[in-house]
Amino acid sequence: MTHGWSARDIPDQSGRTAVVTGANSGIGLVTARELARCGARVLLACRDERRGEEAAARIRYAVRGADVEFARLDLADLSSVRAFAEGFRADRLDLLINNAGVMALPYGRTADGFETQFGVNHLGHFALTGLLLPKLLAAGGARVVTVSSGLHALGNIDMGDLNSERNYRRWTAYGRSKTANLLFVHELARRLAAAGSALVAAAAHPGYASTNLQTAAARMEHRRAAERVAGIANRVVAQPASAGALPTLYAATAPGVRPDSFTGPRVLGWRGAPGPSWRAGWTRGDVAGERLWVASEQLTGVVYPGL
C-alpha cells in the first residue's frame, strides 16, 4: 500500500457496474461520484427519492457524461430490499458498496421488527448482498465492500440479544452493529474461499469524517445543543467526506486488496491516506461469524446460493 493513495489512483472502471447504498450524501455520495468519474455505471441506492435524484444530478453536474441512476432502497424494510434486488436488471454487478448506516439513534424498530441500528446497518445489507450474490458471482473480479467503523470496539455482539431488547444503550448498539458488519465480512470471505470463488469481501471505515451521520440523532430528538457540538466537531476535528471515502474507494478498486481486510485512515485510525486498520479480535471469530450468519439467514429469510 502506498502512503499517499488518493482518488487519482483509482483504476479505470469503464464497463463496470456499481451499487452504492446511502449514496445521497457524505462518503456514499463521494464514493459514487469518484467511481462514476472513473467510468463506472453507478446505481445510487437511497431511501429518499428526492435526495437520491438530487445526488444523481449533482454527480452529473460534477462529472461530464457520468452514468448514474437513482433506485429506491430502504434498508429498514426487507420488502424494499427484495424489490430493489428484483428490479436490478443488469446481467452482472462488479461492485457492491454497503455504505448506508445510522448511528446512535434512540431505540426504534425497522418495518420487520428489528432494532433499527442492527436492522439497517447489518441485516439490511446482509439481505441485499445475498439477493445480489448471483449477479456478483457472474462478474469476474467483483468485490463487496462493507463500511464498518472504528467504533465497533464499543461492543461485541450478544447472540442472546441481537436486537438489544434487554438493555438498550445507543452507542453500544451502534458498536455491536459495526462489529456485525466485520463478522459478516469475515464469514462471507471464509465461505467464498471454501467455494473457490474469486469474489472479494472486504471492509473499510472512514475514520472521523464530516458527514450528517454525527448530527442525525440529535436532530431527530431536537437536542439542539448536541447537534451544535457535533457540527462544530465536524468542522474543527473531522476530515472532509472526500477523505473519509478514500478507504472505501481503496477497498473497492485498488489492486491486491485481500479478502477480509479492513482499510481505514492511517493516522490513528482517524484521518489520512488509506492503510490497514486495527480491528478487535472478536471480529475474526469463525464460531461467532457462523452463528451470526445462521441467525441473519433466519431473521431475513435470505439464504446465499452456493455458500
Please state, in angstroms and rounded to a whole number, the distance separating the CA atoms of residues 87 and 74.
Answer: 14
**What DSSP character marks residue 47?**
S
- Give yes or no for a contact between 144 and 168, defined as CB atoms under 8 angstroms apart: no
* Nearest alpha-carbon partner for 216 in 91, 73, 300, 116: 116
Q: Which helix (H) or strand (E) holds 17?
A: strand 17-21
**158: number of Cβ within 10 Å:** 14
Q: Is 61 a catalytic residue?
A: no
HSE at residue 276, side-chain half, CA atoms within 13 A, is 8
Q: Which helix (H) or strand (E) holds 117?
A: helix 116-118
Please state, in angstroms and rounded to a whole number, the distance separating the CA atoms of residues 202 and 49.
Answer: 29
- Give yes or no for a contact between 94 and 142, defined as CB atoms under 8 angstroms apart: yes
The sign of the CA dihedral 25, 242, 84, 214 is negative
Selecting among 61, 107, 168, 174, the annotated active-site residue is 174
- Give yes or no for a contact between 234 and 204, defined as CB atoms under 8 angstroms apart: no
Active-site residue set: 174
